[in-house]
A and B are shown apart, each in its own frame.
Chain A
Amino acid sequence: MWPTRELFTAGLLAYALAMAGGLAGHASKRTAAWIPRLLCLLSLAGALLEFGASAGVLFGGAESHWVLSSGVPYLSYSVRLDPLASFFGLALSLLAASVSIYSLGYIAHSAARRSPGLFCFFLNLLLLSLTLVFTASNVLFFLIVWELMAVAAYFLIVFDHESGEARKGGLLYFLMSRGGTGMLLVGFLLLATAAGSLEFSALHDAGQQLSPALGATAFLLLFLGFGAKAGIIPLHIWLPAAHPVAPSNISALMSGIVIKAGIYGMARVFFDFYGTLSVWAGMTVLVIGVVSALLGVLYALMEHDLKRLLAYHSIENIGIILMGFGSALLFRSFGHPQLAALALIAGLFHTLNHAVFKCLLFLGAGGVLHATHTRNMEELGGLIRRMPSTALYFLIGAIAISGLPPLNGFVSEWFTYQALLAGFGATPTLTRLAFPVAGALLALTAALAAACFVKAFGITFLALPRSEAAERAREVPVSMRSAMAILAVACVVLGLGAAWFLPVFDPITTRAFGIAASKDLAANGLILTAGSLRSGSVSPAMIAALLIGLGAVPLLLLVLWGRKSSRTTGPAWDCGLPGLTSQNEFTATAFSKPLRMIFGALFRPRREIQAEYEVSPYYPKAIHFESEIEPTFETHFYRPLQHGILWVATRMRRLQQGSIHLYLLYVFVTLILLLLFGVRG
């Protein structure tokens, strides 16, 4: 018997111990350099223990459920390690382990170095609460750890609190998170009234017991509440504000796994709490998914702040995940459990893949930031010579996130395409049209993502350095490099070995749709199929092997055909000017200019050029160039909302006179009203 419960508890204890150590370290006046290292090793131990617990459930079927009573009615410390929880737990522990290793070298050089003890406290609080978010099995307990997670994340985002940007980003995150929790609370309570209990196990299929109108309301509230955390458009605005300003190891966790808590919540609600839903629900999720994916990548293309660019890509990938979830919901509504399983696997697999490569990319961006102290791509360049390992790992992440074969991003996008393709044949008229359109837009999204990562990698790492900081960059310490290496290997293994990994999804799809799909989705020789070999197949492992094997062809050509050719280096063509400098290089802004013009209706780009000249405008002395795009959602949705709230707040001010007697009166009146309400009910 696999000791799931013991491993799980030991992991939590390791996190808690690291928290205590962090507080103690913070309390003492001077923190020795080895203390944060020790704490990171403790988190690593915790992550490995949690990995063992999750792996035991997923691979060994060692499910576990236990309840500690709290003594308070309705609240119980109920923990359940079921397949879905463990799947997210697995992703979390993989990321937590790499981030712990990364932090060994990172903390001493980042904003965290000013109070490393406190930083470790919040970091481990975040890991602890995330572990519990995925496993909590009581509504109140879930909401408590959900809030703990939000608070820990908030303090980590604003850890560099002297920067106004960080404070602003943190505040925005906090506000959106509050709003989300509010919706969750109402949604959960609606479900709980139907089930008559706050235990998750009682909520199974509780959505069906509500009246259609209430069921729909609860669904929308929960979808939006979790969506605010996941960063679906239009609730995404906090993501590009908060992720870039956090220390890079935290950004990696935020984009890698914290936003996935929202996805976990959706999976729990969609496929556990609701048995079947009407068609509109699946359609809503699908449409939001498509919109988030496309707009996410389009906004990412316009960014030249490396970490903001990555943050927008998180929105894009959440969209791709939701395309899988939305299709799964639709298939379930139309009674195709086989296809629903395929679509759910596509979504969940992309969740894990995105966690891995996005964490890798953020750690890489953190390395760049660490070496150059800038996130602005226009000041970077040429880093591949100065930081060869970081560049290689970032490149692997970039290929994976662009969905290119044979890495893991390709596999989950392939499954998503197959799910969308199957949807066309399996659903009635009009609904079916949504699928190929979603597929075409997914293709556009993926191609734009590739363009964006050509920009991100090319401008940051290739050619000449554009600033002195980039010129002086040095490779990051070995701990940071090894963390990236682990994740890069994970990208390759999850891509090539996808067929081996698929059985992990069987218990999840069995619980949701009563079908274990992995047999049908994999064939001999590491081939992945879309239900059957006939309907389409792909083998990332064979593609990788063939790519390497066929490499013999050009090599042989060059050896046999070519003379022992002279290979010289020389200057690149500079149009006859004296020497190529970084001023001749293409910039990130210029790279995305064609797309800025093509999608001008969305971006509404504005630019301003001022030239100073003495003799003739043809010989300018100085040129000032300014360019920006309109932040559509902020301008047209959130600003009116903000004005509305301020307007109401101004009116409410009359209630607050500052007199304690008046406030006592309010309390008294409220109490009376509540008592009356209670007696009547």
Chain B
Amino acid sequence: MTERALALLAQIAIVLFLSPLITGFSRTLKARLQMRRGAGILQPYWDIHKLLRKGMVIPETASWIFSATPYVLFVTTLLAGLLIPTVSAQAPLSLYGGVLAVVYLLALGRFFLALGGLDTGSSFGGLGSSREMTISAIAEPALMLAVFTVALSAGSTNLSVVAQASLGQSWRFLAPQQMLAFAALFIVLIAETGRIPVDNPATHLELTMIHEAMILEYSGPYLALIEWSAAMKQLVLMTLLVNVFFPFGLSIGWSMGTLLSLVLFGLKLLLLAAAVVLVETTNAKMRLFRVPELLAVAFVLSATALISTFLF
């Protein structure tokens, strides 16, 4: 019992405190690739610290939905992070929800975030909400099909079972269908975390923006919660990718070897983050109406993955 509680606390700590690091690493690497110095890897922690200590301004037009949104978003994202295996192949709460619950918890957070955007009454918020819901909707079939491929090869939607199954055959990622599913999920990752070429996380007053438009009116501690949730969501999706497709180093249970697993887990995440940054720096932002084409590619990839796994 105590072991389970400790595992739960450890996982909460990992999801909470590792996530800003990945964001910081991405930003620094991106700056370096663009020949800038960048703000340092730890900047997101400082940002959160600073924002948490600031005052905030709530728009006069907003209702309780606006204030509830940061909490709902934070809590749903954190819970999604507790359902997936990070360091140990046994996620502490995976019995209470599998991969479907992860996807739908993130959707619940997004539902409230989009309402928060509309609640301000400014057209920026509505614009962001509309685009966020559109893009997440058309990313959904590719995501679900790739998830199905993974779940079907393990015979379960429970992510701990999936991770343990793939741990048994670590080199399986070389199989073509696994690569295809990975590629599909990689595109979905970019779309869901709002990175170039789908969305630009670094802009504020551009008509092309999505996520930033939705949260334009948030400030102070609420903004800190939302930024942190965005970092956690990125961690959740990236963990899904690295631990399902590259389960090396996942420990069984919690022991001293877990520390080594933690290091390996961090390294895997950094590699994936570097890959995302490479895509970001070598591509230009797409027009909004080109995004469906990109996501259609993801859908075709995951459909091909599924067919090649089971049809032949």
Contact = CB atoms under 8 A, between A and B. Distances in A.
Interface of A: 382, 384-385, 395, 399, 402-405, 410, 414, 417-418, 421, 424-425, 429, 432-433, 436-437, 439-444, 446-448, 450-451, 453-455, 457-459, 461-464, 527, 530, 533-539, 542-543, 546-547, 550-551, 553-555, 557-558, 561-563, 565-574, 580, 582, 584-587, 590-595, 597-598
A539 B96 contact: yes
Nearest to A551: B75
B125 interface: yes
Contacts of B299: 440
A376 to B, nearest CB: 17
A565 B217 contact: no
B309 to A, nearest CB: 10
30 contacts: A399-B111, A421-B148, A425-B152, A433-B307, A436-B152, A440-B141, A442-B144, A443-B144, A450-B137, A454-B111, A454-B129, A458-B114, A462-B115, A462-B121, A463-B61, A463-B121, A533-B95, A536-B100, A536-B151, A537-B97, A538-B100, A551-B75, A553-B12, A554-B70, A554-B74, A561-B53, A565-B56, A573-B217, A591-B126, A593-B130
B289 A570 contact: no
A442 B144 CA distance: 9
A554 B121 contact: no
Interface stretch (B18-26, B155-163, B255-263): B155-163
Contact of B79 (A403, A441, A546): A546
B223 to A, nearest CB: 12
A450 B115 CA distance: 11
A404 B120 contact: no
Given A454-B111, A537-B96, A586 B53 contact: no
Given A447-B107, A553-B12, A572-B121, A543 B115 contact: no
Nearest to B146: A440
Nearest to B225: A554
Contacts of B148: 421, 424, 436, 439-440
Nearest to B216: A573
A557 B52 contact: yes
Contacts of B225: 554, 557-558
Given A443-B143, A454-B115, 14 more contacts: A418-B157, A436-B145, A442-B144, A447-B133, A447-B137, A450-B107, A458-B115, A538-B98, A547-B75, A553-B75, A557-B52, A570-B60, A582-B121, A598-B289
The A contact surface, by secondary structure, is helix
Interface string B245-262: 000000000000000000
Contacts of A534: 155-156, 158, 161
Query: Which one of A425, A537, A563 has the highest number of Cβ atoms from chain B below 10 Å of its Cβ?
Result: A537
Interface string B206-218: 0000000000110
Contacts of B53: 561-563, 565
Nearest to A420: B148
B101 A538 contact: yes
A433 B74 CA distance: 37
Given A562-B52, A598-B289, A584 B114 contact: no
Nearest to A566: B55
B59 A425 contact: no
Contact of B97 (A440, A450, A539): A539
B115 A598 contact: no
B111 A543 contact: no
Nearest to A442: B144
A385 B63 contact: yes
B216 to A, nearest CB: 6
B218 to A, nearest CB: 11
Contacts of B16: 553
Contacts of B151: 421, 536
Contacts of A384: 63-65
Nearest to A560: B52
Interface string B159-176: 001000000000000000
Interface string B125-153: 11101110110111011111100100110
A582 B155 CA distance: 52
Nearest to B66: A462
Contacts of B38: none
B207 to A, nearest CB: 12
Query: Which one of A439, A567, A572 has the highest number of Cβ atoms from chain B below 10 Å of its Cβ?
Result: A572
B140 A444 contact: yes
B152 A573 contact: no
B76 interface: yes
B140 A443 contact: yes
Nearest to A537: B95
A457 B63 CA distance: 13
A329 to B, nearest CB: 21
A517 B69 CA distance: 39
B122 interface: yes
Contacts of B60: 569-572
Q: Closest 8 interchain pairs by CB? A: A586-B126, A536-B157, A458-B118, A463-B121, A566-B55, A451-B133, A443-B144, A572-B59
A382 B59 CA distance: 13
A453 B115 CA distance: 10
B51 to A, nearest CB: 9
B124 A448 contact: no
A212 to B, nearest CB: 29
A102 B156 CA distance: 44
B211 to A, nearest CB: 15
A567 B56 contact: yes
A537 B97 CA distance: 6
A83 B101 CA distance: 31
A433 B305 CA distance: 12
A568 B57 contact: yes
Contacts of B145: 436, 439-440
A473 B27 CA distance: 48
